[in-house]
Amino acid sequence: MDGTQARAETMNGAESLVQTLLDSGVDTCFANPGTSEMHFVAALDRIPGMRCVLGLFEGVVTGAADGYARMAEKPACTLLHCGPGLANGLSNIHNARRARSPMVNIVGDHATYHRQWDAPLTADVEGVARPFSDWVRYGQSSRGIAADGAAAVQAARTAPGQIATLILPADTAWEPSAGPAKPLPVPPRVMPAPQQLETVARVLRAKGAKVLLLLAGPALTEAGQRAAWRIAAATGCGVLAQMSNARTARGRGRYPVERVPYPVDMALAKLAGYEACILVGAKHPVAFFAYPGKPGSLLPEGCAVHVLARPDQEVLGAIEALAEDVAKGVAPPAPNGGERPRAPGGAITPEGIAATVGALMPEHAIVVDEGVTTGRGFFAATHTAPPHDWLQLTGGSIGEGLPLVLGASIACPDRKVIGLQADGSGMYTVQALWTMARERCDVCVVIFSNRKYAILRHELMNVGANPGRTALDMLDLGNPDIDWVKVAEGMGVEGALAPDLDALADLLRGAMGRKGPFLIELLVP
């Protein structure tokens, strides 16, 4: 018996699981553990190689794992405590699933023989996990838990990226194991059927400018955008990104792709006139909510919908093949160029905020946008900013911006991360600031402090409600005002107040020229 085999045979279940995760390429764990997970925590000491990041709330943990996956292009694992801990993290698991981010959730539970006693933390963990997961398994034994872990990673990495939740009863962690399991192969993405490509090419040739290419996922990489604009140059078709996207390559050298607008009336106007819509890794464009007297689909009545590639298929290969078919020999138009934005100074406006950020961001920054109302018009003003990646809230469940900043910074420590954050949604997961300080993340968070849920004031009008004082008070974040600078400093993050765009520019210059976390509270009128 060699040393490796002997070491494997003396591992407990938790140790075999940690080693299997590492062997399968999962080397980062965002954690908020409890008693049931202590053997997994101890295993992280005995099995070297796993970076462990502590979050003070489970929504921070799961949101950070989402941001990490979007930038690292591989899953992290989370460590959560029983059913209630999983429940606390579900909002950002929902967002991650909508982003198609790979994620492995390790959820501790009572020992298998202890569940019969209905102790206070007993819950239907599987029942909680299933609506938010693509793969769920309840560990049955310490000798099988490593194989369960390998299967969880395989599921998470299966295209287009899935949520895998493995429930780890305490006794399966502490009892002897059979050693780590071998990593499982990940199924490759497959090209769409030739008929899909042929149909879409025929539609483009026949209808030209009346066709919309709607992009998402890998189609929003630099290569995907180049192929889309070649197709547009050859056929005259329109090009848009879907409303919410996990990651978009933007800035100089990329292309001026705009998104389907959030407000229904603006979206309907933007999409009017199209007779066909081709989905390239995207979903059918629909309104976020139902509104009285307005349609759910944002496409014009009678607009035909064709699928070039589903999100789980080879999206980039499909659009590049389509470009070779309908645009052979046609060069793409010139990408974004011209002067980068200039910081305008003066009073605060959404356009001025975007121009200031675009003027001062470094090359290859990562921008996390949970600006909600304030951030809707940021794309137009940042097309000629230095090349960067733009991450959005994808599932509509607010409170993921700060965790996304954290996770993206852990994945890409050599890149500056800029968080554009609404104040109301920022308070959902404000604990992320503490972890940014603990991990010395190179981030700058700009809080849009309008001291109200501004988006919900708009929604009151959109649904035809007639608000009075009680309703408006429910959407007001004043009385008392939140002092974000003091909140940040209490979490270990230096902060400063910006009452206008001149102060914002000065503070951003300082933040871009230093390492470590910094917060700017921007007083938005």
Kindly list the strands in the beta sheet with 494-498, ordered across the sheet, starting from the edge strand earlier in the chain: 248-250, 388-392, 365-370, 417-422, 443-449, 518-523, 494-498
* Amino acid 365: pLDDT: 98
259 vs 330: CA distance, rounded Å: 25
Q: Do residues 228 and 254 make contact, with C-beta atoms less than 8 angstroms apart? A: no
Angle subtended by helix axes 194-207 and 315-326, to nearest 10: 50
CA 360 vs. chain centroid, Å, equals: 24
Alpha-carbon distance 80 to 78, whole Å? 6
CA-wise closest residue to 280 among 383, 211, 359, 353: 211
Query: What is the rounded distance in angstroms from the CA atom of residue 305 to the CA atom of residue 212?
Result: 10
- Nearest partner of 296 among 283, 308, 285, judged by Cα: 285
Whether the CB-CB separation of 422 and 448 falls below 8 Å is answered with: yes
SS3 assignment, position 323: helix
Tokens for 19, please give them: 């080693």
Q: How far is CA 68 from CA 61, 80, 101, in A?
A: 11, 17, 9
Q: Are 68 and 28 contacting, i.e. CB atoms less than 8 angstroms apart?
A: yes
pTM: 0.95
pLDDT along the chain (525 residues), means of 10: 53 98 98 96 96 98 98 98 98 98 98 95 97 98 98 98 98 97 97 97 97 98 98 98 97 96 96 98 96 96 98 98 97 91 95 96 98 84 96 96 98 98 96 98 96 56 63 72 97 98 98 98 94
| Residue 428: partners with Cβ closer than 8 Å, 6 or more residues away | 59, 91, 398, 399
The answer for residues whose C-beta is within 8 angstroms of residue 217's C-beta and 6 or more apart is: 100, 160, 245, 246, 281, 282, 311, 315
What pLDDT is recorded for position 454? 53
Look at residue 127 in the predicted model and tell me its pLDDT: 97
Cis ω for the linkage preceding 160 (within 30 of 0): yes
Residue 36 to residue 377: CA distance in whole angstroms = 46
244/511 Cα distance (integer angstroms) = 28
Three-state DSSP string of 195-261: HHHHHHHHHHHHHHHHEEEEECHHHHCHHHHHHHHHHHHHHCCEEEECCCCCCEEECCCCCCCCECC
Name the nearest CA neighbour of 63 among 49, 48, 80.
80
The full length of the chain comes to 525
Render 15-33 in DSSP notation, one character per residue.
HHHHHHHHHTT--EEEE--
Which pLDDT score is estimated for 73?
Answer: 98
- Give 81's contacts (C-beta < 8 A, 6+ positions apart): 32, 33, 34, 35, 36, 37, 58, 107, 108, 121
The confidence score (pLDDT) of residue 413 equals: 98
10 Å CB burial of residue 112 (0-12, 13-18, 19+) is middle
| 78: Cβ contacts below 8 Å, ≥ 6 apart | 29, 30, 31, 58, 61, 62, 65, 89, 103, 104, 105, 106
